Structure 1
Amino acid sequence: MIAIDAETVHGLMDWHRVVEALRDGHRGPRPSIDDLLMRNEGSAFLIRASWVPGGAVGLKAVTVFPGNPNREPPLPAVQGQFLLFDGDTGAVTAAIDGAAITALKTAGDSALGSDLLSRRDVETLAMVGAGAMAEPLIRAHLSVRPSLRRIVIANRTVGRAEALKERLADTGCEIKTTASIDTAVAAGDVVSVATMTREPIIRGELLRPGAHLDLVGAYTPDMREADDEVFRRGRLFVDARETTVHEIGELMIPLAAGVISEDDIQGDLFEMVPGSAGRASPEEVTVYKNGGGAHLDLMTAGAIHHAWLQQHTL
């Protein structure tokens, strides 16, 4: 069994490789996906498993402790491991740092969604939230939309947004920070949201015509980031129906209220990648729910394992 730590993962992968691994994974058969989520006082223990028919098997076990970055010394909010199993023998082929995979597949998922849905001429990226996922999301979005030249970072704690701005100086983009979520949303051609909120913070009335909204943060039945008007205005897409429609509050709550129906979901990545679903006009608002299922971890782990083998067999 190969053990691949976080430093090695980031040395092996870049955003192009991650996005293309996810794109290729959605050209194959739909995998089986299953989750176990346990929560305790705001923290979570999450086990995600996936099995590709005739292919690999993978399981990720991670903890999510949102208060960890505020400890002294700081600790990662997400920690865990991914186990990759051989599809023929069932043997464990690799153990890979779970937090590294989570960051890559989550941001890569959103970047692939944007590549398939956002306009090619977008110029301003609005990032709502300045937590651990904000920097990977920004860099992943930039990798698929080089037309982006402005970034607006909105966070209620402006100091965290300023620190993120400094880390992104190498992008060459004009970067502004604000405490106003509304200001960022109104400015964005692409709006990416990664927060821990349980109440909607994105107001659909503020989205620009032709904007693409990337909803990342909500991952439990009681979490949502977008208000009802987002779904009234926008055409809705998801990364996978199995991991979003009846699993995450972002869709479960407006579905239960009758704001949307399952028929309003225009497609998922298994339909968008082959080209059977996507943006219909330059003026429409597209809404993409990133559910981050175990199959995405498995696709990313497969690419990491392949890259490691290439490097060590030269």
Structure 2
Amino acid sequence: MAKLRLLSRAHVQEIITMEGAIGILEEAFADFAAGNVTMPVRTPITAPEYNGLSLFMPAYIPGLKALGAKVVTVYKDNPAKFGLPNVMGTIILLNPETGAPVCIMDGRYLTAVRTGAVSGLATKYLARLDAKVHTLFGTGVQARTQAWAVAKSRELKRCLVFSIDDDEKKQAFAGEVTKLTGVQTEVAKDAENAVRACDILTLATSAKEPIIDGSWVEPGTHINAIGSHAPGMRELDTATVVKSKVFPDSTEACMAEAGDFQIPVEEGAWSPDSIAADLGEVVAGSKTGREADNDITLFKSVGLALQDMATASYVYREAVERGIGHEFEF
């Protein structure tokens, strides 16, 4: 009879490290570039009578023996009606040899970490080696892991935080990031100067309209754009996309889901033919990333199931080795 391990959010938090997540994604993206990952497009199912959306994200990475799926649910009425989060995530891992389930784990914290980790990976391969200043738009859960990951990929001297939240929340977030990363973090007074001052710019917001102006972005900047992931939504203006060397997590996924790319195409200002490479191709060494210190490099991510399965497989292996979680016969 198959044994199934159950991992709660607390278990995942106990196990996962940003270094471990970046390392496992480096392997996964190289496999993806080599054509060794099976990953159907995410499948949405709506439950309009409950104001709900479910997203099913399967993937198989043979090199990591990672097979499974993440289910993300977005039920906007949950907090008010049921006292539950409006977004929840659950991951199931299967034994690729037998198909038997081996693990079910909470996916909320893991999703935040893997989203940060992919920006850390992009920063490792695309940012200037002498990058010292990181500007971060956003003060939510995703922004926290973005700050953590970028600080693992470059020796930063300073982090600037900008958001539309109230001053108390921004100051608290800056203090939390300083403690987490060891990088002195300050609240920026205005968006334009924060962008002009940075070597690395990360956008982790829920904005529907551009939050930066392309004229603010200085030569040599690396950009991680991870907040918007739906048609019609974008954090980047057209000018920023046009002036950048563009590296998506997946060209196919970004062209299907990212308003940051779709809107410039609709305007006739930009074409996906100008994409330099997918991130995995740079990681694998089959294509070139940054070529000069004055390049503006742009990493755009909409989130891929391979990130979830790779990170979940790493967490599961660690849990088995360290005896973490609850195991029972299924």
TM-score, normalised to structure 2, is 0.87
- Quick check: 260-269 or 115-124, which moved more? 260-269
8 Å contact from structure 2 (residues 39, 305) kept in 1: no
- Quick check: 173-182 or 202-211, which moved more? 173-182
Aligned equivalent of 1:309, options 303, 317, 320: 320
- Quick check: 52-61 or 162-171, which moved more? 52-61
Mark the structure with the bigger radius of gyration: 2
Q: SS state of the match for residue 246, structure 1?
A: helix
Q: Distance in 1 between matches of 2:299 and 2:198?
A: 15
Distance 1:42 1:235, change over 3 A: farther
AA aligned to 2:323 is: H
How far residue 74 of structure 1 moved from its aligned partner, in angstroms, is 8.4
Distance 1:232 1:296, change over 3 A: same
Q: Aligned pair 1:153/2:153, yes or no?
A: no
Q: Distance in 2 between matches of 1:67 and 1:117?
A: 40
Q: SS state of the match for residue 245, structure 1?
A: helix
Distance 1:5 1:177, change over 3 A: same
AA aligned to 2:103 is: A
How far residue 75 of structure 1 moved from its aligned partner, in angstroms, is 6.1
8 Å contact from structure 1 (residues 238, 290) kept in 2: yes
Matched residue, 1:31: 38
Q: Distance in 2 between matches of 1:58 and 1:241?
A: 23
How far residue 156 of structure 1 moved from its aligned partner, in angstroms, is 1.0
How far residue 252 of structure 1 moved from its aligned partner, in angstroms, is 1.6
Partner deviation per Cα, 1:222-268 (whole Å, 9 max, x = no partner): 21110011012111001122321222212122122222212111111
Partner deviation per Cα, 1:12-33 (whole Å, 9 max, x = no partner): 1211110000001123213223
Distance 1:197 1:301, change over 3 A: same
- Quick check: 303-312 or 168-177, which moved more? 168-177
Aligned equivalent of 1:10, options 13, 26, 30: 13
Matched residue, 2:246: 236
**How many positions carry a matched residue from both structures?**
311
Unpaired segments of 5 or more residues in structure 1?
none
AA aligned to 2:100 is: A
Q: Aligned pair 1:272/2:278, yes or no?
A: no
Aligned equivalent of 2:300, options 271, 289, 292: 289
Partner deviation per Cα, 1:76-130 (whole Å, 9 max, x = no partner): 5532211111212111111111102211110001110110100111111101011
How far residue 181 of structure 1 moved from its aligned partner, in angstroms, is 2.3
Matched residue, 1:50: 59
8 Å contact from structure 1 (residues 33, 293) kept in 2: no
Q: SS state of the match for residue 57, structure 1?
A: strand
Distance 1:189 1:72, change over 3 A: farther
Superposed, which structure 2 residues align to 1:74-223 within 5 Å? Answer: 76=85, 78-145=87-154, 147-157=155-165, 158-170=167-179, 171-178=181-188, 180-223=190-233
Q: Percent identity?
A: 28
TM-score, normalised to structure 1, is 0.91
Q: Distance in 1 between matches of 2:226 and 2:103?
A: 27
Distance 1:230 1:61, change over 3 A: same
Q: Distance in 1 between matches of 2:137 and 2:70?
A: 27
How far residue 43 of structure 1 moved from its aligned partner, in angstroms, is 7.0
8 Å contact from structure 2 (residues 188, 194) kept in 1: yes
8 Å contact from structure 1 (residues 125, 189) kept in 2: yes
- Quick check: 23-32 or 114-123, which moved more? 23-32
